[in-house]
Amino acid sequence: MKKTFLLFTLLVVSNYVLAQSQWRLGLRVSPLVSFAGVTDADKNDIVGLDANSRLGIGGGLVANYQFEEKFALQTGLQVVNRGYTIKNTNIEQKSSVTTVEIPLLLHLRTNEIGSGIRATGIFGGTAGIFAGAGTDLTVNGTTTSDKKGAIFNTFQFDFTFGAGAEMNLNGAGTVALGLSYHLPLILMADKIPFANQGNGNGYEYKDGRVKLGYLALDLTYFF
């Protein structure tokens, strides 16, 4: 009984503090499509290499500091899983990468254009930290798995921009829907597998450049 009363008291106090402050807190889920740009170490296209997009998912907490009615600073904590597939001669690499991301964005919104509905826009930067990866590497029909992620960089930074809309639910919070594009400014990986029949495993990693951006459908609920 005491624990229930304490939890209820904390919820009431938290809601009161949020109501008196300029912060809006929310939860987000973001289905996404990632796009890989792959070149050699000299930024040249690689003949015979195909890079394909893959589906992914992201989600986490969103926090808007509403310093003006139409302007806010948006940050939060998101966990994002994205990936790519590349094929080169007799090699296929399928990689899935997880990053923890912290955005710092300017969030814009218009006056109401309908019953509680506003158009919105964002732009700014997103910093990411490598959290894990899985790679399946198929060479001449034989597949091996690697969970170490040694070829992936520790830090990421994206230029982020997008647009959408939000709707006030008359005291029950706010729902928002938007599209955001994350343009990579730092390499996701600096190694690419190439066939090498001269060694025992039939391939070797060589210097390369893999940038991995993504387009996300952002579904957000603000308390």
For 169-182, write each residue's pLDDT tens digit: 988 899 999 999 99
pLDDT tens profile 170-217: 888 999 999 999 999 999 999 888 877 655 567 788 898 999 999 999
Residue 3 has pLDDT above 80, yes or no: no
Task: Indicate the SS3 state at residue 205.
Answer: strand
The Cα diameter of the chain in Å comes to 71
52-75: average pLDDT = 94
- φ/ψ of 175, rounded to 5, equals -110, 145
Distance CA 69, CA 93 (A): 48
pLDDT 10s digits, 128-157: 999 999 999 888 888 888 888 888 999 999
* Cα gap 173→182, rounded to integer Å: 27
Written as six digits, the tokens of 130 are: 């490598």
Q: Output the pLDDT for position 200.
A: 54
Supply 142's token pair: 């034989």
Tell me what pLDDT residue 91 has: 87
How much of the chain exceeds pLDDT 70, in percent? 87
Q: Is the pTM of this model over 0.75?
A: yes
Rg (CA), the chain: 22
User: Using CA atoms, how far apart are residues 218 and 58, in angstroms rounded to an integer?
Assistant: 9
The whole-chain average pLDDT of the chain stands at 87
Q: In this structure, are residues 196 and 203 in contact, taking their beta carbons and an 8 Å threshold?
A: yes
The pLDDT assigned to 47 comes to 84
Asked if pLDDT for residue 16 goes beyond 50, the answer is no
pLDDT exceeds 80 at position 10? no
Mean per-residue pLDDT, 66-80? 95
pLDDT the model gives residue 114 = 82
Question: Where is pLDDT greater, at 143 or 166?
Answer: 166
- When pLDDT is averaged across residues 95-116 and rounded to a whole number, the result is 94
Report in angstroms the alpha-carbon separations of 167 from 81, 85, 171, 219: 28, 38, 11, 12
* 37, 41, 42, 46 alpha-carbon torsion, rounded to 10°: -60
- What confidence tier does 81 reach under pLDDT thresholds 50, 70, 90? very high
**Per-residue model confidence (pLDDT) at position 198:** 56
Instruction: Tell which wins on pLDDT, 91 or 12.
Output: 91
